[in-house]
């Protein structure tokens, strides 16, 4: 009887394999139709997926605020801690968006418009200053001369058509922020956040049912580790970027540097990418200042920004980050480079927490193997 049952299972697995191969063949044979169907399905799912993503990003802030509310002396606040924590996070998010859209972005956009409108003038100034350099200068070489010769007569403004830029921005906004989609995404995120205990319990039970006990415990441990690392890193980098951006903008404004809001915003934004981001932003800002304000102003700008970045690295950042990710600078540099090469800016940003998680898993595996050898 047991042999018959095993024989039946074997044929059942072969049947499933054959069915899978037939489905794959049909999918490849009708690839256009299948891809369109998948695209339509993903479009329908998009607001739900966005809602889940929002809930995931808001999970840790809601959890921390809820823990604070549960310790309140007010009975109503303790009873409604979860609801109030979700409302608080959403109110803070809306407030940040209002400030960003109505205060910060208009000032930055004004600087961008002025910079592009005067791009040809600044380009001419840069070429003129380059031509005045001594012939034995290290900056004068055949490669740079060839580049200048090729681009000298290009009208830079033609590459920055505001009508095209705005058209593209509106298309992107229209694609991802339909009113109905936003409403559905918000509702889904609120529901997931409200019912997160029940949802997490279900997935934990499902994981426990599928995997062996040791595997389940490892999955649960690394899930908790990953969440903690990811949220600590993202929150600290964004807060740190805002602080650095504001300080740089204030310093540059006091120094009378042109386009201070744009340069401060740029340095603050790129500062969220460890090491490489800050260097890229400072180099771009220094070149813009060199062209618009001269050598002296560019040098002073570099000195002030480097001082501010040292203050940030040694005082501000450790206070904000709290517990370090314990990832060496070499590993950070390597992971940011790999992340940027394969996944662009987002890859550079997420590379560090991913590297930290992989490092924890690798260390645990090495410790397990060493303990196994000693046993």
328 pLDDT more than 80: no
86: CB partners within 8 A, 6+ apart? 58, 62, 190, 193, 194
In a domain, 332, yes or no: yes
Between residues 161 and 308, which one has the greater pLDDT? 308
Q: Which residues 6+ apart lie within 8 Å of 236 measured at CB?
A: 317, 320, 321, 322
pLDDT for res 90 = 93
Is 320's pLDDT higher than 70?
A: no
Q: How would residue 114 be classed by pLDDT, with cut points 50, 70 and 90?
A: confident
Determine, yes or no, domain membership for 153.
Answer: no
Residue 95 has pLDDT above 90, yes or no: yes
What tens digit of pLDDT does each residue of 167-221 get? 555 555 555 556 677 888 889 999 999 998 898 888 888 888 888 888 888 888 8
Position 91 scores a pLDDT of: 95
Structural domains in the chain (count): 1
Instruction: Indicate whether 117 pLDDT > 60.
Output: yes
Q: What value does the mean pLDDT of the chain take?
A: 78
The percent of residues above 70 in pLDDT, for the chain, comes to 73
* Domain-embedded: residue 351: yes
What mean pLDDT comes out for the span 109-131? Answer: 80
Look at residue 317 and tell me if it is in a domain. Answer: yes
Q: What is the mean pLDDT of residues 247-269?
A: 90
Give dist(CA 354, CA 271) in Å, integer.
18
> Lowest mean pLDDT: which of 244-253, 325-334, 346-355?
325-334
> Would you say residue 298 lies in a domain?
yes
Q: Which of 245, 258, 255 has the alpha carbon at shortest distance from 303? A: 255
Q: Which two tokens stand for residue 244?
A: 């650095």
pLDDT class of 84 with cuts at 50, 70, 90: very high
- % the chain with pLDDT above 90: 5
Which pLDDT band holds residue 223 (cuts at 50, 70, 90)? confident
In this structure, of 12-21, 302-311, 329-338, the range with the lowest mean pLDDT score is 12-21
With vertex at residue 220, the alpha carbon angle to CA 214 and CA 225, rounded to the nearest 5 degrees, is 125
Q: Answer for the pair 353, 229: CB distance below 8 angstroms, yes or no.
A: yes
297 CB-side CA count, 13 A: 19
Q: Flag whether the pTM goes above 0.85.
A: no
230 found inside a domain = yes
Task: Confirm whether 14 is domain-assigned.
Answer: no
Residues 37-66: pLDDT tens digits? 666 776 777 788 888 888 888 888 898 898
Residue 366 tokens read as: 């090495």
Task: Place 138 in a pLDDT band, splitting at 50, 70 and 90.
Answer: low
- Find out whether 64 and 202 touch, Cβ atoms under 8 Å: no
Domain span including residue 254: 211-375
User: Residue 3 falls within a domain, yes or no?
Assistant: no
């Amino acid at each position: 009887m047991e042999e018959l049952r095993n024989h039946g299972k074997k044929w059942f697995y072969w049947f499933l394999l054959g069915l899978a191969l037939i489905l794959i063949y049909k999918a490849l044979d009708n690839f256009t139709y299948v891809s369109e169907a998948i695209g339509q399905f993903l479009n329908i799912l998009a607001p739900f997926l966005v809602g889940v993503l929002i809930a995931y990003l808001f999970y840790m802030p809601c959890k921390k605020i809820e823990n604070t509310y549960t310790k309140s002396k007010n009975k109503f606040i303790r009873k409604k801690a979860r609801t109030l924590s979700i409302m608080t996070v959403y109110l803070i998010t809306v407030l940040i968006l209002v400030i960003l859209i109505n205060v910060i972005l208009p000032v930055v956009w004004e600087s961008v418009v002025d910079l592009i409108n005067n791009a040809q003038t600044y380009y001419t100034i840069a070429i003129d200053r380059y031509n005045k350099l001594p012939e034995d200068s290290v900056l004068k070489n055949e490669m740079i001369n060839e580049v200048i010769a090729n681009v000298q007569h290009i009208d830079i403004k033609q590459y920055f058509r505001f009508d095209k830029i705005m058209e593209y921005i509106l298309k992107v906004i229209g694609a991802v922020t339909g009113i109905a989609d936003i409403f559905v995404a918000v509702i889904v995120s609120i529901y997931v956040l409200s019912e997160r205990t029940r949802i997490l319990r279900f997935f934990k039970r499902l994981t426990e049912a599928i995997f062996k006990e040791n595997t389940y415990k490892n999955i649960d441990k690394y899930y908790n580790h990953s969440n903690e690392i990811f949220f600590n890193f993202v929150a600290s980098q964004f807060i740190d970027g805002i602080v650095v951006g504001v300080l740089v903008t204030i310093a540059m404004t006091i120094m009378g540097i042109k386009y201070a809001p744009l340069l401060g915003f740029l340095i603050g934004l790129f500062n969220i990418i460890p090491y490489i981001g800050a260097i890229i932003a400072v180099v771009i800002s220094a070149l813009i200042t060199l062209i618009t304000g001269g050598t002296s102003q560019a040098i002073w700008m570099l000195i002030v920004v480097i001082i501010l970045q040292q203050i940030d690295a040694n005082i501000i950042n450790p206070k904000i980050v709290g517990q370090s990710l314990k990832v060496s600078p070499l590993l950070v540099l390597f992971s940011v480079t790999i992340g940027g090469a394969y996944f662009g800016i987002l890859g550079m940003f997420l590379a560090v927490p991913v590297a930290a998680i992989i490092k924890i898993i690798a260390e645990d595996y090495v410790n397990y193997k060493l303990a196994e050898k000693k046993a």
